[in-house]
């Protein structure tokens, strides 16, 4: 009767997954880049004194912008904003999703019906167009506003999965047992249920971050963001306003896009691993 | 409408040394529970009356869907009855507010069917036992730990030091169920409701767990409601037996009485369905070949589910001895105090 | 029947909410959206009060209490009257949209379906050959390509295939000297123009379909009925397609909503880069032109298209999955 | 008819030792015999059943030994030969959960898929055959038009048995076919199964953890412990003549409803970890009649007068060494 | 039957080209492809001169009374042959005879009078606000008489540039802004040819009154697409004439075909930093002057505008085009050259202190910080604001660059609810128009009320007085004297901080036609929109 299969810690399971390992390595690199970018950057990000619109050279690995900034420096700084926006929006999205998912999943009944309906509606409202619509009306576009728009349009997906998960878990006998042990609802949620859905939360978090990073880039590209910050999205915005392609400055456009793609896919890859925690069937042989 | 089937029955006690203490007596009076879904409603309990005296083990027997778990959930306050009253000592279980419910559960605990899902995979053995001690008995962490270890001794999770930091997945099925039981007895409840506590366990472990429950009952003088579909284990463990069919109690009484001499056709069907290895060595033939007792009773037909509830005996559609009377009125429990049956048919 | 009734109810409710959002959002934000337009005219010279009145009348600015505005707005929408576009003045918003709609519908619709079919089939193949070379290469590679920002990929394609090599046109939906018509020349031109845009959606989208299908397929392959089908000596093809893939499809069809929302967003960015005459580019220009009536109606149309597609997906899911039809599990 | 020779199955692990779930099993099932296979959870019953049906995923485990069906070794066949042989000679019935049938196909079509894979039959012929079979398992033939979710658990299990019989196989392997069901339903299905077996004369390998149930329906019972068969006997004899201490202990876990009240005894201890190499008799740690040799030497399955047993008690006393 | 021949020419273009079709880089000899009309983003078939969102080609079809060259203010007779001020409240214009509408009907003074009275009838059409000044317009013979309510001489330029529409068509149109006009009737050199939402052609009007001077037979207007693709198309030689901001134009355009590819980016207006003069410290002249010194306009011109433009004179005049108006006593042609030291000094003198962390404090002791609003997506302006931001940081002023949508930007400017904003002004034929709308306190409405002019809300009665004088005078010398006074005021009081001259972007190819305007022959701005094309097309000669 003993459960003979020795359990591995979730982290081991994730790390054992080859794809997840690649993802973790890439993500770590980007986190380091965001943290230490300014130290690594060859120049100051506000320095506009270089010969403008140059292709890659030894001094400027990725060339310079049309207004004479070093593209590589911008790329390093851009990691900060892009990841900040991504992770903060992702965090807020997950927080909102958790609260809504919990309230809906734990209390059930009418509350659940209403919240589920709201989530389903939010889900079918197309995200980017809604973001554009809101961004088009918002008078100011600071980072805060971008994060707000992102969170507002992004929470429903996480909310729905977390609600479902919450629903499943709160029907588990051990939750009922905890009630028999005299635990209060608060503790039941945080001590009994939450730890068991951690992998879902993290997977959803990464999903939300990926979405936010891509959406931020999209908004910035459309000029609906804040072009005076340096993020990978604004880099592409400026690159295309500065006709980078026309000038043959492909590095100016390719580099930030590649970073976005790598960052986003690193999280997708990590999620391969995290999926296997919740669903052993997906584990690699 | 269903007329009264007499007031709550007190099942006779065999052991007079355990005097009835009314402050720890569970009493169900005309308890009904109707689940209403979108398009249909299910009567999961119908006019159930019984009492459980302190220190007694009462078995609830019935096939799947007969309403056993429903009764357990009603008694433990997880759900509220649609009708009727449940009292435990001075508690009116039917009207507990959340705060009261929590203190009620110091006195009434539950053991779940599936020890795999009743334990949080993240929590250690010690934590699982310490929590109810702290919450219900208000012990300090140190006290609770000490006490928890004693309880582990009681349920024979020994050597204790080896087990305290294990997590459920490191335990065998039997050990898990012991842990579940340890958890339930930790706050020193007066009543434990055990919903099929051994049905998920291997036969080789069942006896031990049942024995443990029995022992605890004896040493701690708790009442136990033992829910099962397995008549044999009920017979081993219980003092009294209640047979449930579609939310109705169709037979009840002293366990030896009822199980040695089942009266209701449904009880007979159940009894005949129990696999019995010893049967064959006696007869020397395989049951399937001949008539045997099983052939007496018609197997359930799909049509049974379409029966309109409330009219006639619930078992009538499956009953081999069905009479006209059965279709129009509901039989009430009748018979001696030690053995009552709700059936119009008499042998 | 109940299943469909509920779906229709949800459809109507969501449309109503989208409509109401459209009504509320502009009113929550500071400034009168039409001021933008007036200010633009006013740049050319002083605006007298009479002129302002005339402009307001010309643009059809709302008057009256909020409730009466809302009523009028709802009634107008029911009558298909979405007002007049500022940037296409005096054309109605609906006629402007009707010109853009087919482009997006055909291009995005076709590519989405293609991408979905190809991705799903590849997903089936990858899951069936789990752990083999194709599986591991395809999953990693495609999770990378599906993380490409749409606009970025579009720019790269334009640069390499449109500008450097000049194999494909870099913008527009068809050659300008052809009149939209059902002639082969026009269709040829339209298809030729749609190749790079289509490629953009396809490359970024196919990964999602593959990965989604692969996961579901792996789950499904672990089900008992698959084992039973194998024990039954069914052909691998039958097991893979009729038993596994068909069931693995179900959650995907139901989750079409999310996928479609993404495609719509992606195609919007793609169209903007390619100056493709569809809804997405129209939406992006409506933003920069401050054409709020157009902007709102576009959003509404996009929402309704997504909703309808979802509705269809739900129906298809219902047809594929008998459990849904009875409303048994839901 | 079915011969299993020295069959071993190991579930490979990515790291460390794999799970040796079946360890050198030998037995035969003659024609038209109802054989029960019992043992505690995790002792390898299902694995053995699946190995006999050649259903184990070869990428994840190693199967050694031979499974001969009418003299043909299943593990020597090409995939196509194996496919042809499946179901027509050997079929399986799995636990009666929600998942034994494809949820999106009508039962009829699932029956037909199997029939089409093996024989060319017209639609009408197939329909007729399905109706016959459903009637044989006491189901309304109209049920064939239903989807799986429209059936109750018991009905589904009957249908699964009908499906197993659709090609008149020689051997049907049933893996815990009634565990998910209620006693009453279980009883009626087992009864029906045993009558069918009697009538149609196919062989049955009935896998269950419920010795009581198996003893009632089977002609022969094999008791499995830790991946090995420890006792193999005609069912009639087991109660009175069980040889292996494990079998005896198992029997002690059942109460006789007809007899007067008895207390039950469990078997203390837990089964061994199948990942480990086992020294000596795997049951030794739990055995009340343990001898020194049990700790060091593994007993082999040796024939007795009726059946066979793997226990040193008999190797050394009653059974003369060969 | 219209324009079969020109359709063919466009059609043959497609046929002869690569399968893409859009790659119409080598159209027929006598046609020009012009990249100017953007659509929104596709074309609607509307050539109604009064409708917002009409086609750029509309201005190739309708003509004004006089052609006014905004570069130097030179007036060329067009549909009007001559004008006289009978007094400063009466203007008489003589109308050209022998002109035909392109539907064959004759053009007359009655059409002119009809047009102006039509604007009166439909105020929504009177985008220049003519009828705030006019009292009547009447025709008799070939003369049209404009009577004014008050003397307002500079209004002549507005009258001159108003396009004339045919009475026989428009007299029956009762909702002129909503009238779709796919086949417009005008007097101009071109008429509508072939139309699709992605491209349209104009063909030469055979009965044009100066048909002999017009050598280009067909004009092709493809949809511009977005900036990115437009630049790629221009660079790859698909267009003969375009108006795009191209970075590094020498490399990205000229070098692709150095013999023929030309550009000319003349100044067309002043881009300035407007500060809200109703708020402290912006209401302090010395503060504004210090800022004017503290902003590196040179760097802005170089970085944000790729060095295509010049630093603007603080006088508000567009130099060198309007140099005849420039008061010679103003130093350095009115440019506040960048001088950080001087700026700091001036601030200190004016009593602004800095705190320990280097922040500049206002009079109440709070650190000065403000935001500069720039319309969303105007990337060169955003860059400009970013440079200002880093310049002013040197002075201890913290600037936030806000990029609201144009509507929000425009409404905060017009209601005066802004701190700083980039703003364009000027570019008209007469400096009076620029000054009037920049500093006339008549427009400086209280904060909260909407105004389209003097949005920085500058008030100086003496300046108002001078402007009123100027407005009434038909005398060149008086006007000059008044202009000097206003210049001085604008230069010294810095109502807005002039940054650089906004350019008229124009790239063209001389491969097929020569005679384009240039710095040495600035007969018209080189823009393919507005009225300059009317002038330019009478100058273009086929290359022999
Ligand atoms: N939450 C619920 N909603 C609707 N019906 C319910 C609900 N819970 C139980 N039922 C129905 O009530 C009846 C009794 O169920 P209950 O779970 O009490 O049976 P049980 O005797 O415990 O059966 P089992 O042996 O299968 O556990 C069944 O028909 C069941 O379907
Ligand atoms: N896919 C697998 N990978 C690794 N180990 C496995 C796998 N399947 C089963 N096992 C292990 O093999 C042993 C035998 O499993 P099996 O399922 O055959 O037991 P069983 O006798 O059928 O048990 P039960 O009565 O619980 O069904 C167990 O220890 C189990 O943990
Ligand atoms: Mg139950
Ligand atoms: Mg098994």
3-state secondary structure A187-249: HHHHHHHHHHHHHHHHHHHHHHHHHHHHHHHHHHHCCCCCCCCCCHHHHHHHHHHCCCCCCCC
The torsion angles phi and psi of C19, rounded to 5 degrees, stand at -60, -45
For residue D232, give the CATH number of its domain.
3.40.50.300
- The ligand placed nearest to the CA atom of residue D38 is 2
Task: Return mean pLDDT, chain A.
Answer: 84
CA distance A206 to E372: 36
CB contact under 8 A, C231 and D85: no
Same domain, D14 and D62: yes
H/E stretch holding E85: strand E80-87
**Torsion sign across C-alpha atoms E54, E60, E66, E68:** positive
- List all residues of chain B from 5 to 34 with a beta carbon under 8 Å from chain D: none
Convert the pLDDT of each residue in C272-330 to its tens digit. 889 898 888 998 888 877 788 888 888 888 888 888 888 888 888 888 888 776 544 33
Task: Kindly indicate the confidence band of residue D257, based on its pLDDT and cuts at 50, 70 and 90.
Answer: low
To the nearest whole angstrom, how far is the Cα of D206 from the nearest Cα of chain A?
21
If you measure CA to CA, which chain D residue comes closest to C225? Answer: D100
Q: Which of A29-38, C37-46, D295-304, E94-103 has the lowest mean pLDDT?
A: C37-46
**Using alpha carbons only, how large is chain C's radius of gyration in Å?**
24
* Higher-confidence position of E309 and C253: E309
To the nearest whole angstrom, how far is the Cα of C192 from the nearest Cα of chain A?
22
CB contact under 8 A, A4 and D275: yes
pLDDT above 70 for E293: yes
User: Which residue range is the domain that position D253 belongs to?
Assistant: 2-89+170-185+195-268
The answer to whether residues B187 and B22 touch, using CB atoms and an 8 Å cutoff, is: no
Among residues D184, D201, D3, D189, which one has the least CA distance to residue D93? D189
CA distance E489 to E495: 9
* Token pair 């789990």: residue: C130
> Which mutation among B70, B199, B250 tests ligand 1's pocket best, with the greatest number of atoms within 8 A of CB?
B70
pLDDT at E10: 35
The answer to whether residues E373 and E413 touch, using CB atoms and an 8 Å cutoff, is: yes
Same domain, D82 and D117: no
Q: Which of A133-142, D28-37, E180-189, E398-407 has the lowest mean pLDDT?
A: A133-142
pLDDT above 80 for E405: no
Q: Which of A86, A126, A148, A265 to mutate to test the interface with C (most CBs of C within 10 A)?
A: A126
Instruction: Write the class of the CATH domain B4-257.
Output: alpha beta
pLDDT at C198: 93
Q: What mean pLDDT is predicted for residues E257-280?
A: 92
* Higher-confidence position of D258 and C5: C5
Convert the pLDDT of each residue in C21-56 to its tens digit. 888 877 776 555 556 665 555 544 455 555 666 666
Same domain, D174 and D80: yes
pLDDT at B1: 39
To the nearest whole angstrom, how far is the Cα of B90 from the nearest Cα of chain D?
36
pLDDT at A106: 72
**Cβ contacts of D185 on chain B, cutoff 8 Å:** 63-64, 299-300
Q: Which of E132, E223, E453 sits opposite C172 (nearest CB)?
A: E223
The ligand 1 atom at the shortest distance from the C-alpha of residue B229 is 25
The ligand 1 atom at the shortest distance from the C-alpha of residue B33 is 12
The ligand 1 atom at the shortest distance from the C-alpha of residue B36 is 4
- List all residues of chain C from 3 to 32 with a beta carbon under 8 Å from chain E: 30-32
Convert the pLDDT of each residue in C220-267 to its tens digit. 998 889 988 988 889 889 999 999 998 998 888 877 766 777 777 788
Q: How many CA atoms lie within 13 A of C69 on its CB side?
A: 13
pLDDT above 60 for E321: yes
pLDDT at E412: 84
The answer to whether residues D219 and D30 touch, using CB atoms and an 8 Å cutoff, is: no
Q: Does C183 touch chain E (CB under 8 A)?
A: no
Alpha carbon nearest to ligand 2 atom 28, residue:
D42
pLDDT at A184: 87
pLDDT at B336: 85
Q: Which residues are within 5 Å of ligand 3 (an ion), measured at CB?
A: B 69
pLDDT at C170: 84
CB contact under 8 A, E414 and C39: yes
pLDDT above 70 for E302: yes
How do beta strands B191-195 and B223-228 pair?
A: parallel
Q: Does A181 touch chain B (CB under 8 A)?
A: yes
- D246 domain-assigned: yes
Same domain, D163 and D174: no
If you measure CA to CA, which chain A residue comes closest to C204? Answer: A261
Q: What mean pLDDT is predicted for residues C169-186?
A: 81
The answer to whether residues C162 and C170 touch, using CB atoms and an 8 Å cutoff, is: yes
How do beta strands E31-35 and E241-242 pair?
A: parallel
CA distance E147 to E479: 21
Q: Does A7 touch chain B (CB under 8 A)?
A: yes
Same domain, D19 and D48: yes
What pTM did the predictor assign? 0.84
CB contact under 8 A, D117 and C321: no
Domain count along chain D: 2
Q: Which of E24, E41, E452 sits opposite C282 (nearest CB)?
A: E41
Q: Does B121 touch chain D (CB under 8 A)?
A: no
Domain ranges (residues) in chain B: 4-257, 266-297
Q: What torsion do the CA atoms of E182, E187, E189, E193 make, to the nearest 10 degrees?
A: 20
pLDDT above 70 for E358: yes
Convert the pLDDT of each residue in D54-68 to its tens digit. 988 887 889 999 999
The CA B69 to ligand 3 mean position distance, Å, reads 4
Same domain, D9 and D19: yes
- List all residues of chain D from 4 to 23 with a beta carbon under 8 Å from chain A: 14, 19
Task: Kindly indicate the confidence band of residue E19, based on its pLDDT and cuts at 50, 70 and 90.
Answer: very low
CB contact under 8 A, C238 and D117: yes
pLDDT above 90 for E288: yes
Same domain, D137 and D6: no
The CA B32 to ligand 1 mean position distance, Å, reads 13
The torsion angles phi and psi of D125, rounded to 5 degrees, stand at -60, -45
CA distance D9 to A89: 51
Q: How many CB atoms lie within 10 A of CB B326?
A: 20
Full pLDDT tens readout for chain B, 347 residues: 344 333 334 333 334 334 445 578 899 999 999 988 766 778 889 899 999 998 899 999 998 888 999 999 999 998 899 999 999 988 898 888 888 888 899 999 999 888 888 999 889 999 999 999 999 999 999 999 999 999 998 888 878 888 888 888 888 888 899 899 999 999 999 999 999 898 888 888 888 888 889 988 888 889 999 999 888 888 888 999 999 998 999 999 998 888 888 889 999 888 888 887 776 644 444 444 433 333 334 444 434 444 455 578 888 888 888 888 888 888 888 888 889 999 888 76
Same domain, D73 and D103: no
> Which mutation among B39, B41, B65, B307 tests ligand 1's pocket best, with the greatest number of atoms within 8 A of CB?
B65
Q: What mean pLDDT is predicted for residues A114-121?
A: 85
Give the residues surrounding ligand 1 with Cβ less than 6 Å away: B 35, 37, 42, 44, 62, 64-70, 229
Q: What mean pLDDT is predicted for residues A112-123?
A: 84
CB contact under 8 A, B299 and D185: yes
Same domain, D48 and D7: yes
CA distance B233 to B226: 10
Q: Do E and A share at least 3 CB pairs under 8 Å? A: yes
CA distance E468 to E188: 36
**Cβ contacts of A137 on chain E, cutoff 8 Å:** 405
Q: Could you give all domains of chain A from N- to C-terminal order, each with its CATH number? A: 27-32+71-279 (1.10.3720.10)
Same domain, D147 and D125: yes
- Map chain C to HEC letters: CHHHHHHHHHHHHHHHHHHHHHHHHHHHCCCCHHHHHHHHHHCCCCCCHHHHHHHHHHHCCCCCCHHHHHHHHHHHHHCCCCCECCCCCCCEHHHHHHHHHHHHHHHHHHHHHHHHHHHHHHHHHHHHCCCCHHHHHHHHHHHHHCCCCHHHHHHHHHHHHHHHCCCCCCCCCCCCCCCCCCCHHHHHHHHHHHHHHHHHHHHHHHHHHHHHHHHHHHHHHCCHHHHHHHHCCCCHHHHHHHHHHHHHHHHHHHCHHHHHHHHHHHHHHHHHHHCCCCHHHHHHHHHHCCCHHHHHHHHHHHHHHHHHHHHHHHHHHHHHCHHHHCCCCC
If you measure CA to CA, which chain C residue comes closest to E13? Answer: C177
Convert the pLDDT of each residue in E449-477 to its tens digit. 878 789 999 999 999 999 999 988 888 89
pLDDT at A5: 43
Q: Does E304 touch chain A (CB under 8 A)?
A: yes
Task: Kindly indicate the confidence band of residue E490, based on its pLDDT and cuts at 50, 70 and 90.
Answer: very high
The torsion angles phi and psi of C86, rounded to 5 degrees, stand at -75, -45
pLDDT at E247: 79
DSSP state of A2: -
pLDDT at B244: 93
Beta bridge partners of E191: E203
Among residues E434, E424, E440, which one has the least CA distance to residue E499? E424
Q: CB contacts < 8 Å between A and E, how many?
A: 70
Same domain, D161 and D216: no
Q: Do E and D share at least 3 CB pairs under 8 Å? A: no
Which ipTM was obtained for this model?
0.82
CA distance A215 to A260: 11
Same domain, D105 and D78: no
Q: Token digits for D320? A: 């003369």
CB contact under 8 A, B122 and A195: yes
Q: Which of A42-56, D182-196, D242-256, E67-81 has the highest mean pLDDT?
A: E67-81
- D78 domain-assigned: yes
To the nearest whole angstrom, how far is the Cα of A281 from the nearest Cα of chain B?
18
The answer to whether residues C92 and C82 touch, using CB atoms and an 8 Å cutoff, is: yes
CA distance E450 to D35: 96
Q: Does B306 touch chain D (CB under 8 A)?
A: no
């Amino acid at each position: 009767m003993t459960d003979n299969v020795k359990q591995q810690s979730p982290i081991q399971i994730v790390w054992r997954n080859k794809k997840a390992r690649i993802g973790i390595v890439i993500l770590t690199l980007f986190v380091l880049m965001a943290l230490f970018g300014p130290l690594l950057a060859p120049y100051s990000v506000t320095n506009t004194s270089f010969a403008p619109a140059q292709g890659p050279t030894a001094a400027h690995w990725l060339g310079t912008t049309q207004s004479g900034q070093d593209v590589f420096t911008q790329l390093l700084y851009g990691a900060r904003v892009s990841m900040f926006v991504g992770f903060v929006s992702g965090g807020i999205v997950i927080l909102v999703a958790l609260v809504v998912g919990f309230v809906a999943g734990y209390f059930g009944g009418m509350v659940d019906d209403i919240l589920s309906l709201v989530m389903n509606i939010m889900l079918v409202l197309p995200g980017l167009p809604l973001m554009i619509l809101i961004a088009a009306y918002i008078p100011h576009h600071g980072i805060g506003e971008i994060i707000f728009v992102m969170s507002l349009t992004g929470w429903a997906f996480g909310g729905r999965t977390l609600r479902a998960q919450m629903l499943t878990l709160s029907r588990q006998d051990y939750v009922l047992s905890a009630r028999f042990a005299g635990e209060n609802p608060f503790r039941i949620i945080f001590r009994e249920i939450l730890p068991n859905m951690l992998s879902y939360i993290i997977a959803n978090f990464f999903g939300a971050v990926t979405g936010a990073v891509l959406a931020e880039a999209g908004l910035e590209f459309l000029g609906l963001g804040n072009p005076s910050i340096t993020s990978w999205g604004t880099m592409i915005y400026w690159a295309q306003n500065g006709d980078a392609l026309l000038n043959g400055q492909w590095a100016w456009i390719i580099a930030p896009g590649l970073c976005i793609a790598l960052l986003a896919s690193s999280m997708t890859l990590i999620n391969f691993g995290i999926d296997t925690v919740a669903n052993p069937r997906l584990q690699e042989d | 409408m269903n007329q009264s089937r007499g007031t709550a029955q007190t099942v006779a006690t065999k052991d007079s040394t355990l005097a009835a203490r009314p402050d720890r007596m569970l009493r169900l009076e005309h308890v009904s529970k109707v689940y209403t879904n979108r398009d249909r409603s299910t009567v999961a309990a119908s006019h159930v009356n019984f009492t459980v005296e302190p220190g007694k083990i009462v078995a609830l027997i019935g096939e799947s869907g007969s309403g056993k778990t429903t009764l357990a959930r009603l008694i433990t306050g997880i759900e509220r009855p649609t009708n009727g009253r449940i009292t435990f000592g001075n508690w009116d279980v039917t009207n507990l507010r959340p705060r009261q419910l929590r203190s009620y559960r110091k006195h009434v605990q539950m053991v779940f069917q599936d020890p795999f899902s009743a334990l949080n995979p993240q929590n250690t053995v010690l934590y699982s036992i310490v929590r109810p001690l702290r919450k219900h008995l208000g012990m300090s962490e140190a006290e609770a730990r000490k006490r928890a270890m004693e309880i582990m001794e009681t349920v024979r999770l020994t050597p204790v030091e080896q087990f305290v930091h294990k997590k459920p997945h490191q335990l065998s099925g039997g050990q898990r169920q012991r842990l579940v039981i340890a958890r339930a007895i930790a706050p020193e409840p007066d009543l434990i409701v055990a919903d099929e506590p051994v049905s998920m366990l291997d036969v080789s472990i069942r006896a031990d767990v049942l024995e443990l429950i029995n022992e605890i009952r004896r040493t701690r003088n708790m009442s136990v409601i033992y829910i099962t579909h397995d008549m044999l284990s009920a017979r081993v463990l219980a003092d009294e037996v209640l047979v449930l069919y579609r939310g109705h109690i169709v037979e009840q009484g002293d366990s030896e009485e009822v199980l040695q001499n089942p009266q209701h056709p449904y009880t007979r069907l159940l009894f005949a369905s129990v696999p019995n290895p010893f049967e064959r060595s006696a007869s020397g033939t395989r049951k399937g070949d001949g008539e045997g007792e099983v052939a007496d009773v018609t197997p359930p037909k799909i049509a049974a589910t379409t029966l309109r509830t409330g009219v006639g005996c619930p078992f009538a559609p499956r009953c081999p001895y069905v009479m006209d009377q059965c279709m129009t009125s509901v039989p009430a429990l009748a018979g001696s105090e030690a053995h009552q049956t709700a059936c119009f048919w008499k042998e | 029947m109940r299943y469909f009734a509920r779906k229709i109810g949800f459809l109507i409710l969501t449309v109503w909410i989208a409509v109401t959002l459209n009504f509320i959002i502009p009113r929550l934000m500071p400034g009168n959206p039409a001021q933008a337009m007036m200010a633009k005219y006013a740049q050319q010279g002083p605006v007298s009060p009479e002129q302002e009145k005339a402009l307001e009348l010309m643009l059809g600015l709302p008057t009256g209490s909020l409730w009466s505005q809302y009523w009028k707005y709802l009634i107008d929408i029911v009558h298909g009257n979405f007002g007049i576009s500022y940037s296409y003045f005096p054309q109605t918003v609906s006629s402007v949209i009707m010109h853009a709609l087919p482009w997006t519908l055909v291009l995005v619709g076709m590519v989405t379906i293609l991408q979905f079919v190809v991705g799903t089939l590849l997903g089936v193949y990858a899951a069936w050959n789990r752990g083999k070379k194709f599986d591991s290469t395809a999953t990693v590679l495609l999770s990378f390509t599906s993380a490409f920002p749409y606009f970025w990929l579009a720019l790269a394609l334009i640069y390499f295939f449109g500008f450097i090599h000049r194999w494909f046109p870099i913008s527009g939906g068809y050659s300008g000297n052809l009149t939209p018509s059902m002639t082969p020349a026009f269709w040829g031109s339209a298809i030729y123009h749609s190749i790079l845009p289509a490629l953009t959606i396809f490359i970024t989208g196919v990964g999602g379909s593959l990965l989604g299908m692969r996961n579901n397929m792996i789950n499904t392959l672990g089900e008992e009925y698959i084992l039973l089908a194998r024990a039954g000596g069914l052909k691998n093809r039958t097991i893979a397609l009729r038993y596994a893939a068909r069931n693995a499809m179900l959650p995907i069809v139901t989750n079409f909503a999310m996928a479609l929302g993404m495609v719509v967003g992606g195609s919007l960015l793609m169209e903007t880069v390619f100056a493709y005459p569809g809804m997405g580019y129209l939406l992006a220009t409506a933003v920069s032109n401050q054409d709020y009536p157009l902007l709102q109606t576009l959003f509404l149309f996009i929402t309704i298209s997504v909703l309808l597609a979802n509705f269809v997906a739900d129906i298809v899911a219902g047809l594929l999955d008998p459990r849904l039809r009875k409303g048994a599990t839901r | 008819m079915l011969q299993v020779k020295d069959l071993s199955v190991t579930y490979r692990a990515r790291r460390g030792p794999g799970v040796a779930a079946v360890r050198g099993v030998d037995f035969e099932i003659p024609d038209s015999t109802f054989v029960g296979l019992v043992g505690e959870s995790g002792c390898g019953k299902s694995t053995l059943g699946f190995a006999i049906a050649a259903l184990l995923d070869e990428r994840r485990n190693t199967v050694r030994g031979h499974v001969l069906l009418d003299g043909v070794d299943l593990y020597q066949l090409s995939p196509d030969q194996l496919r042809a042989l499946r179901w027509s000679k050997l079929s399986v019935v799995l636990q009666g959960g929600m998942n034994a049938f494809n949820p999106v196909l009508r039962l009829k079509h699932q029956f037909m898929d199997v029939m089409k894979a093996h024989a060319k039959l017209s639609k009408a012929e197939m329909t007729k055959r399905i109706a016959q079979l459903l009637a044989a398992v006491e189901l309304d033939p109209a049920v064939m038009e239903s989807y799986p979710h429209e059936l109750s658990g018991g009905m589904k299990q009957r249908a699964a048995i009908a499906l197993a019989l659709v090609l008149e196989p020689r051997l049907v392997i049933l893996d815990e076919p009634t565990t998910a069901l209620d006693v009453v339903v279980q009883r009626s299905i087992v009864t029906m199964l045993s009558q069918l077996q009697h009538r149609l004369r196919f062989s049955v390998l009935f896998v269950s953890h419920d010795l009581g149930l198996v003893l009632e329906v089977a002609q022969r019972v094999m008791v499995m412990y830790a991946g090995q068969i420890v006792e193999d006997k005609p069912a009639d004899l087991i109660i009175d003549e069980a040889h292996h201490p494990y079998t005896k202990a198992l029997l002690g876990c059942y109460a006789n409803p007809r007899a007067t009240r008895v207390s039950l005894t469990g078997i203390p201890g837990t089964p061994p970890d199948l990942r480990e190499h086992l020294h000596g008799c795997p049951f030794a740690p739990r055995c009340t009649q343990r001898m020194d040799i049990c700790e060091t030497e593994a007993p082999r399955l040796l024939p007795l007068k009726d059946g066979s047993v793997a226990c040193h008690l008999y190797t050394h006393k009653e059974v003369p060494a060969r | 039957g219209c324009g079969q021949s020109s359709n063919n020419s466009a059609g043959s273009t497609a046929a002869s080209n690569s399968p893409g079709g859009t790659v119409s880089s080598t159209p027929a000899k006598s046609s020009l492809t012009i990249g100017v009309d953007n659509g929104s983003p596709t074309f609607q078939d509307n050539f109604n001169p009064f409708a917002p969102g009409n086609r750029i080609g509309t201005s190739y079809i309708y003509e004004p009374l006089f052609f006014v060259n905004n570069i130097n203010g030179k007036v060329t007779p067009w549909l009007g042959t001559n004008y006289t001020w009978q007094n400063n409240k009466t203007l008489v214009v003589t109308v050209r005879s022998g002109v035909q509408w392109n539907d064959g009907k004759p053009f007359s003074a009655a059409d002119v009078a009809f047009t102006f009275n039509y604007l009166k009838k439909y105020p929504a059409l009177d985008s220049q606000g003519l009828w705030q000044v006019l009292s009547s317009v009447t025709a008799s013979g070939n003369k049209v008489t404009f009577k004014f309510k008050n003397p307002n001489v500079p209004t002549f330029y507005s009258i001159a540039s108003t396009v004339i529409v045919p009475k026989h068509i428009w007299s029956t149109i009762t909702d002129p802004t909503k009238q779709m006009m796919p086949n417009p009737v005008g007097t101009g050199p071109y008429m509508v040819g072939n139309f699709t939402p992605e491209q349209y052609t104009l063909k030469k009007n055979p009965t044009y009154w100066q048909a002999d001077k017009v050598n280009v037979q067909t004009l092709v207007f493809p949809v511009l697409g977005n900036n990115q693709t437009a630049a790629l198309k221009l660079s790859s030689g698909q267009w003969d004439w375009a108006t795009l901001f191209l970075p590094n134009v020498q490399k990205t355009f000229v070098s692709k075909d150095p013999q023929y590819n030309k550009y000319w980016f003349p100044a067309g207006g002043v881009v300035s930093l407007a500060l809200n003069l109703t708020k402290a410290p912006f209401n302090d002249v010395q503060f504004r002057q210090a800022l004017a010194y503290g902003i590196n306009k040179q760097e802005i011109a170089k970085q944000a505008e790729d060095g295509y433009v010049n630093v603007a004179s603080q006088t508000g005049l567009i130099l060198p085009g309007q140099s005849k108006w420039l008061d010679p006593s103003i130093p350095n042609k009115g440019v506040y050259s960048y001088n950080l030291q001087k700026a700091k000094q001036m601030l200190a003198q004016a009593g602004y202190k800095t705190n320990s962390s280097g922040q500049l404090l206002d009079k109440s002791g709070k650190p000065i910080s403000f935001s500069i609003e720039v319309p969303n997506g105007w990337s060169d302006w955003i860059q400009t604001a970013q440079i200002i931001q880093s310049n002013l940081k040197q002075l201890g002023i913290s600037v936030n660059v806000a990029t609201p949508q144009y509507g929000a930007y425009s409404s905060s400017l017009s209601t005066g609810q802004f701190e700083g904003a980039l703003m364009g002004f000027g570019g008209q034929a007469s400096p009076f128009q620029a000054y009037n709308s920049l500093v006339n306190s008549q427009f400086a409405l209280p904060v909260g009320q909407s105004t389209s002019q003097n949005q920085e809300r500058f008030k100086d009665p003496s300046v108002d007085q001078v402007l009123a004088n100027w407005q009434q005078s038909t005398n060149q010398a008086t006007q000059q004297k008044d202009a000097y006074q206003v210049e001085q005021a604008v230069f010294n009081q810095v109502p807005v901080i002039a940054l650089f001259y906004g350019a008229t972007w124009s790239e063209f190819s001389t491969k097929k036609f020569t005679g384009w305007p240039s710095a040495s022959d600035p007969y018209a701005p080189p823009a393919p929109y507005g009225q300059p094309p009317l002038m330019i097309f009478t100058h273009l000669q086929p290359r022999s």
